[in-house]
Structure formats: C-alpha cells, structure tokens
Chains A and B, each alone.
Chain A
Amino acid sequence: MPSGGFSALLSCVLAWLLPGAGHFYLGKRRRAAVFFLVVFATFMLGLLNEGHSYLADRQQPLTYLGTFANIAIGPLEFLSRRSTYHRLVYALPADENSPEAQVLLTAMRDKVKVVTDEYGTTFLLTAGLMNMLLILDAFDIAIGRKS
C-alpha cells in the first residue's frame, strides 16, 4: 500500500546511501536534517576516536553482526573501513595463517591498541544501528504505516 506516490524501495535505498535522505525524499525535511546530523556526528566521533570496522570471521559468528551493523551506515562506511584496513575488505580469509589474513589482523590490532578504540568502535556501531532504524522508519512512512 504505497502512500503519497512515494516508492518504499527508493526511500530505503536513499536512507541507506545517506542518513536522513529517505526522510528527505518522503517530505520530512526537518526530521531528515536532524537524523543526518545525529548519525553523521556519531559516525565522525567513531572515526575521530579511532574506532575499527569489523571483518566477518567464520570462527566468530558475532563478527557477522558487527560487520552488518557497520555496513548499515552506507557508503560512509568506506571511510572507517579504509582507515582500519587501508582498503575495502569485509571478510577475513578462511585460513587465518595466510599472509593476507595476517596483514588484516595486524591492521586491526594496530587500531585496537589505541586507547580510544573501544569508544570509537561503539560510536561506529551505534551510527550503523541508528541508520538501520532510519531505513525501517522510511519504509514505514512510505507504505503509510506511519506519518
């Protein structure tokens, strides 16, 4: 049940691409601005506090949730991933002793050694989780379930 001619899919994609963009598209301009500022500030605090992005690791299932939460922030996530691993990589190789896995683990350990890493990582995860809720909220507004 589409509402006001808005596409639910487009609002969700926009919300993922840029925090608040889904709400902006749905005509909720003021709310969109607040959401963008809050989520962007949370993400930037994560970066400034040297937080790290997660890598999906088969031996640690919870890392899948962390990686998913990181990705939920959208393309902004490239910044934090590049700052952690110096390239875009999302999964740890199956063989943890391989040279590639060792490079990635070393890069992650370098971040973890920073005293503010845990604060930063929490900010990064929170920003991703907030954007996930924004995507769902944009979907609800687009289908007329919420005003």
Chain B
Amino acid sequence: MLRSHFLNMVILSVLVSIFFAFLTQNDRRERLKVMAILLLSMVVLSLLIAYAMFPFPLNSAR
C-alpha cells in the first residue's frame, strides 16, 4: 500500500500521461512531447492548487 498522497498522485499522472500520449499521437517525438506536457501540467497544477488551499483550515467547524 502506498500511503504517500504525493507519490500516488505522481504515479497516477505518469500512467495517465503515457495513456493519452499513445492514444492521441502516432509519432514518437510527439508522444514524448504530449507525455511531458501532461505530466508536468498535472503535477505542477496540483501543487499550485494545494499551495493556494494551504491557508484554508482543514475543518471549519473547529
């Protein structure tokens, strides 16, 4: 079992990036490009959203 939220997110992002690269492109170079763009987008955007949410309390009822 993988308990790390970040590791799970990165693994899922890698798998989804590979999947969509092979689904949408036929050329090797284009696949690598799509894979890199998708992977970076998913990981970086997730970190940015997490950072933006950081000031909010986990439980507002407390």
Chain B associates with chain A? yes
Which of A's residues lie within 8 Å of B, judged by CB?
Answer: 31, 34-35, 38-39, 41-42, 45, 48-50, 114-116, 119, 122-123, 126, 130, 133-134, 137, 147
B8 is contacted by which of A31, A39, A119, A137 (Cβ under 8 Å)? Answer: A119
Chain B contact patch, size range: 10 to 19
A130 is contacted by which of B1, B5, B8, B19 (Cβ under 8 Å)? Answer: B19
Given contacts A38-B19, A137-B23, contact A122 B12 (CB under 8 A): yes
Interface of B is mostly: helix
B2 touches A49 (CB 8 A): yes
Inter-chain CA distance A130–B2, complex, in Å, is 21
A35 touches B22 (CB 8 A): yes
Interface of A is mostly: helix
